Amino acid sequence: MIPARLPPPPSAPIVLTKLLLVEGDTPIHFFEAMLRHLGLEREIEIRNFRGVGDFKTYLINLADTDEFKRLVTSLGVVRDAEKQPATAARQSVEAALLAAGLTPNRTPPIKTSVIILPDNTNAGMIETLCMSAVQAEPSLSSAYSCVEDFFACLVRNGIALPAAPVLDKNRAQAYLATRQDVQMFPGLAAYRNHWGPWTNPVFQPLLHFLQAL
């Protein structure tokens, strides 16, 4: 069931020892669905840092709160690679961690973990990951093929489309239009397993990441 509650604002008090920072509303819902699958929704608290341009300031302010200093023992960060390989995004996150004083020699120590979507290597975003899962799931292969045919038709007819990897957002919306739920957002679709089962190999690195927090 899709929850009615909204994610907590940045100023809401921290209540758990493990924090997961994600980029936007879509990953808020996506990772909450994944945490529910793992039975970890009461162990890991999700926070939305909104956009990559906001992350450094958000993290510095968050790490300076009394609750963070008193409670947090493990911090995970998830963000999109966007148009460049994951290395650049990882370096940006690591620079923000350093600026916030979250270094290995910090007292008390805080475990930090970073994963860059879609696969810790390539350019892309959470929609890239989701469409890779659809492609890999046999029960969804027909819908995936139809979506690819649709975009190939657009290209043949000279329809202007966004460049990759932003195009994956369009592909994800087109795929969700093949589901019976109407106007489903990508993050909310995760609650209803529209990206396929969590046992899909595409999702395994993320599951392991969350379990290791």
Residue 146's closest CA among 177, 185, 116, 167? 177
pLDDT per position as a tens digit, 79-134: 999 999 999 999 999 999 999 999 888 878 899 999 999 999 999 999 999 999 99
Q: Based on the domain organization, do 106 and 156 belong to the same domain? A: no
Q: Is the pLDDT of residue 10 over 80?
A: no
Q: Based on the domain organization, do 118 and 65 belong to the same domain? A: yes
Q: Is 6 inside any structural domain? A: no
Confidence band of 13 (pLDDT split at 50, 70, 90): confident
Q: What is the CATH number of the domain that holds 72?
A: 3.40.50
User: Which range (6-10, 90-94, 184-188) has the least confidence?
Assistant: 6-10
Q: Based on the domain organization, do 117 and 134 belong to the same domain? A: no
Confidence band of 39 (pLDDT split at 50, 70, 90): very high
Q: Based on the domain organization, do 36 and 133 belong to the same domain? A: no
> Strand, helix or coil at 134?
helix
Q: Identify whether the C-beta of residue 77 lies closer than 8 Å to the C-beta of residue 21.
A: yes
Q: Based on the domain organization, do 116 and 155 belong to the same domain? A: no
Q: Based on the domain organization, do 45 and 130 belong to the same domain? A: no
- Encoding tokens for residue 167? 């195009």
Q: Based on the domain organization, do 99 and 134 belong to the same domain? A: no
The angle at the Cα of 119, spanning 202 to 93, to the nearest 5 degrees, equals 140
Residue 113's closest CA among 198, 200, 18, 8? 18
Q: Based on the domain organization, do 25 and 115 belong to the same domain? A: yes
Q: Is 7 inside any structural domain? A: no
| Amino acid, res. 46 | I
Number of domains, the chain:
2
Q: Based on the domain organization, do 100 and 137 belong to the same domain? A: no
Bridge partners (DSSP) of residue 48 are 22
Q: Identify whether the C-beta of residue 206 lies closer than 8 Å to the C-beta of residue 77.
A: no
Q: Based on the domain organization, do 42 and 137 belong to the same domain? A: no
- Encoding tokens for residue 97? 């961690």
> Strand, helix or coil at 110?
coil
Give the structural domain span for 50. 18-123+204-212
Element holding 213 (H helix, E strand)? none
Q: Which residues contact 46 (CB under 8 A, 6 or more apart)?
A: 7, 19, 20, 21, 22, 28, 31, 32, 35
Q: Cβ atoms within 10 A of the Cβ of 133, count?
A: 21
